[in-house]
Amino acid sequence: MSNTEGQTPLFLAMFYSCDVTCDMLLSAGANPDQAMTTTGYAPLHAICSEGSLPLLKLALNYGANSNVSSADRWVYQIYVG
């Protein structure tokens, strides 16, 4: 399920830093790698653009691909120490 821009509920929850909603969606089986159909941006792109380390760790714990790239080949170099 996504809106007309291809944004999933998880993508929007990550973009707006809604921690509880993100945890709920991921625990219900939301795909942390499902990219927007228009740009190819994945939830990790939204997290990195907003700078939320707790959400980044949450997504990675649910198996998000840390090497995901967008349609225009944006790849975030992620190091969580």
Mutual orientation of helices 53-61 and 43-50 as an angle, nearest 10°? Answer: 160
Contact 34, 1 (CB under 8 A): no
Confidence (pTM): 0.83
CA–CA dist 37, 14 (Å, integer)? 17
Structural domains for the chain = 1-81 (1.25.40.20)
CA–CA dist 81, 68 (Å, integer)? 19
Contact 45, 71 (CB under 8 A): no
What is the reported pLDDT for 25?
97
CA–CA dist 23, 71 (Å, integer)? 26
pLDDT digits 0-9 by tens, 9-46:
999 999 999 999 999 999 999 999 998 888 888 888 88
